[in-house]
Structure formats: C-alpha cells, structure tokens
Amino acid sequence: MPIDAPAAKRDATAGYGARVVLTDHGERAREEVAAAKAREIAETEGLALLHPFDDPEIVAGQAGAGLEALDQLAAKNASADLLFCSVGGGGLIGGVSLAFHYLSPATEIIGVEPEGFNGMGSSLAHGSIETMPIGPKSICDGLMSRRPGDAPFAAVKTAGVRGVTVDDSSVRRAMRIAFERMKLVLEPSGAASLAALLGGKVDVKDKTVLVVATGGNVSLADFMAHMNHA
C-alpha cells in the first residue's frame, strides 16, 4: 500500500490477516511504486500476483456487483435509466458496466473520477489509454489512478461509459448527505459517485438512478475531519 493509504484501510487489511507492506513514493507515481514493490515481492517469494484491477478475471468478478444491482432492481420491477459508478483503475466500473451493457442496455453509465485523476474519462474521449500527469491531490485515495487498466478500459469502451469529474468539496457534501439521510458511512472514494449525482452535471430529472457507493474505509477521526470542512 502507498504510505499515505488511510490508517483505517491499513488496519482493516491487517485485521483480516494480511501482511501490509508500505511503499514511500516520494515524488513518483503513488500507485506505480506500490505495484513495482508487489511485483518484486511476488518474484522474490514465488507468490502469485493479483492485480487490483487490470486483469480480465478481476473485471469479470466485479461484474457481480452489477448483477446484484440488477437483481435488486428486478425485485422492485424497476430498471435504471442512469448508473453512477466511481473509477480508480477501472476494475469495478469495467465489470459493472459490462453487466449493464448486456443485460440492461438502455441504462446510461457514468464513470466518476476525482479532478486530476480522470484518466478513464480522458482515455474514453481520445479512444485510447491516456496517462495523467503526476501532481494533483484528492481526498479520494482509492481513486488516485493515473491511467486506467487495459482490461477495464476495453470493458468500459465496449459498454459506452461517459466520464465526469468531482472535486473534494462535492465529495465531502456527499459524505454528509449519505450520513444524515441514508445513515451510511462512506469513505471519500465511495462517495464520489453520489457527489456526481448531487453535483448536477448530469440531468437526472424524472429518471431512475442507480448509484454504486462503495467503500467505507474511513476512520472516525478522518471522517470527523472531513465533516468539519463540509
């Protein structure tokens, strides 16, 4: 994990029995330094490397979240006109968007990225994978990818996803609304999709909207600090 991963995420991972190795990226790309360390450990110790998103089977597995959402919609005799899903490396939206593309083709799918980390949106706009510059900061630590994975990009391109971005303050507002009105604890990365919905960049009037709000890896202290700025 990058050295600046939230303590809540580190502790929870260790709590499930993992050995957590931290990487200090300095001025280099956060995620690439961690990935290089993971490759090194896998080679040295003869372990299998599971990429967090850039693997067709990871994308296929994430499609399960889309299938569950489709089951829940079907149980209510409903269908989604719009779907908002956050994008880091793109594994989740890759799977979810493919599930909807094949089983609910009328659903328009919006991929949500933090400002400065909109590699997927840029890549979709240009038709090929783009790498974003190093430099921007975001409170959405789980979405700070500089480029989408090859497998996720292929899936998302097939599904016809549209990209939008959100800023930190809209994410904090979404965290607050999830807390106050939905009684849900969302980490910043998990609230980005809701922030895009609330931000008004997409017309949702009279539409049935599905928001994939995934992730609550935020400590109470960090949550309270975010809320003091919201």
Q: Among 60, 65, 73, 184, which residue sits at the site for a second copy (rule: CB under 8 A)?
A: 184
| Phi, psi torsion values for 208, nearest 5 degrees | -85, 120
CA neighbor of 90 nearest in space, from 136, 132, 48 = 132
| Distant-in-sequence, close-in-space partners of 84: CB < 8 Å, separation ≥ 6 | 110, 112, 193, 194, 196, 197, 202, 209, 210, 211, 212
Segment near a second copy (CB under 8 A), from 37-45, 54-62, 127-135, 172-180? 172-180
In angstroms, rounded to a whole number, what is the distance separating the alpha carbons of residues 53 and 222? 26
Q: Whole-number minimum distance, CB 184 to a second copy, in Å?
A: 6
- What is the footprint of a second copy within residues 186-205 (CB under 8 A)? 186
Contact flag: residue 7 with a second copy (CB under 8 A): no
75 binds a second copy (CB under 8 A): no
CB nearer to a second copy: pick between 16 and 203: 16
DSSP secondary structure string for all residues of 77-146: T---SEEEEE-SSSHHHHHHHHHHHHH-TT-EEEEEEETT--HHHHHHHHTS---PPS----S-GGG--S
Q: By CB under 8 A, name the one of 179, 202, 204, 209 that touches a second copy.
A: 179
The piece of 28-36, 144-152, 199-207, 220-228 that touches a second copy (CB under 8 A) is 220-228
Please, what is the minimum distance in Å from the beta carbon of residue 43 to a second copy?
Answer: 35
Q: How far is the CB of 48 from a second copy (least distance, A)?
A: 29
Counting residues that bind a second copy (by CB under 8 A) gives: 14
Nearer to a second copy, 128 or 228 (CB): 228
Question: CA 89, CA 108: separation in Å to the nearest integer?
Answer: 20
Select from 19, 183, 205, 229 the one that contacts a second copy (CB under 8 A).
183
Query: Who contacts 87 (Cβ-Cβ below 8 Å, separation ≥6)?
Result: 93, 111, 112, 113, 120, 121, 143, 145, 148, 156, 163
Q: Is 227 in the site for a second copy (CB under 8 A)?
A: yes
User: Which positions lie near a second copy, rule CB under 8 A?
Assistant: 8, 176, 179-180, 183-186, 216, 219-220, 223-224, 227
